Chain A
Amino acid sequence: MEHNVYIYIAIVALTTYLVRVLPLTLIRKEIRNRFIRSFLFYVPYVTLAAMTFPAIVNATHSVWSGVAALAVGVLVAWISGNLFLVASSACAVVFLVELLAVRGPML
């Protein structure tokens, strides 16, 4: 049976929306339980750290430019914390490292 792409898209959109909107709308009160409060306090840091590493190292064309992006990103974030500055210096260092050091078919 041939499936309809637009029905697929509707199902994907609806499922994703429910996953995102239910906790936001069902949890209306401030949670008092200390464990749950602490748990939710740590969630973003664990999630973002786990998503960043090792993925950042594998995102670029070369592991070395990825490592350089991580090092420069951490350094700039430690010193300044400015979102745009951190993101653009990470991009810039990848570009430079791949331009100067990585030889390959991607010219």
Chain B
Amino acid sequence: MNKRQFLRGLRVGIPISLGYLAVSFALGITAREDGLTALQATLTSLLVNASAGQYAAFTVMAAQGGYLEIAIVEAVTNARYILMSAALSQKLPATARLWHRLVIGFNVNDEIFGMAIAEEDKLNPFYYFGMMVVAMPGWATGTFLGCSVGNILPERLVSALSVALYGMFLAVIIPAAKKNKVILGVVLASMAVSLGLSVWPLFAGISSGTRIIIITVVLSAIAAVLFPVREEADGHGA
């Protein structure tokens, strides 16, 4: 059972890994511009696995910011993972062991979280591990290539691959929205507010990570008050 879930995770991890390859390629180019060696950039990718968080970190490193400063920047740019991690804690079965949680915690990020939360039932940790095993090398390899050999991929290809991860997000939210009218409304409202805040001068200055946290907290709270989920409807109930 666990083995089958692990293998399924490996399969689902392939498109994630390919998408990562393209995104982290761009990240690697940025890292080199910020003065990191390929080894340092790849090590960061292996240990951190966070796009916005790493961009922010490289920027602080290039500016020779303080150690406390880089810790705060990192906590803020990655704060949305607190929400994802809390949501995942409710998705795990009661049988999940502590080491399962400690390993999953190493790679809570947008894409794998999206796939994990799309599970009909509880999340099997081994499905998650499978995705990690395939996705993480993609992230590190892309960073290494971007940092060491720069513009080896034609720009057209990089441009095309850069939407892969968004396509995966759509594959998670759209089928759910099709089945559930409230989710459809929540998705449309989120996109509208996200667009609004990105062009509104008052908010356009803050980082996209912070903007997403604000949108997530406010809209999820409003939806929870207006449309509280029934026991059987949220996947946690009996």
Residue with the highest number of chain B CB atoms closer than 10 Å, among A35, A50, A99? A50
Nearest CB to that of B83 among chain A residues?
A43
Query: Across the interface, do A23 and B89 meet the contact criterion of CB distance under 8 Å?
Result: yes
Inter-subunit contact A38/B223 (CB<8 Å): yes
B224 on interface, CB distance cutoff 8 Å: yes
Contacts of A91 in B (CB 8 A): 160-161, 163-164, 167
Least CB distance from B135 to A in Å reads 13
Is B87 interfacial (CB-CB < 8 Å)?
Answer: yes
Give residues 48-107 of A contacting B (CB, 8 Å): 48-56, 59-61, 65-66, 69-70, 73-74, 77-78, 81-92, 94-95, 98-99, 106
Once A and B bind, how many residue pairs between them come within 8 Å at the CB atom?
A: 301
Classify the interface of chain B: helix, strand, loop or mixed. Answer: helix
Asked whether A24 lies within 8 Å of B221 as measured between CB atoms, the reply is no
Q: How large is the interface on B (under 10, 10 to 19, 20 to 34, 35 or more residues)?
A: 35 or more
B78 near A6 (CB under 8 angstroms)?
no
Q: Find the B residue at minimum CB distance from A87.
A: B167
> How many A residues touch B, CB cutoff 8 Å?
75
Whether A44 touches B172, Cβ cut-off 8 Å, given contacts A16-B74, A49-B186, A54-B194, is yes
| Cβ contact within 8 Å between A73 and B86 | no
Instruction: Check A55/B70 contact, CB under 8 A, given A40-B90, A94-B160.
Output: no
With a cutoff of 8 Å between Cβ atoms, the chain A residues found around residue B228 in the complex are: 34-35, 38
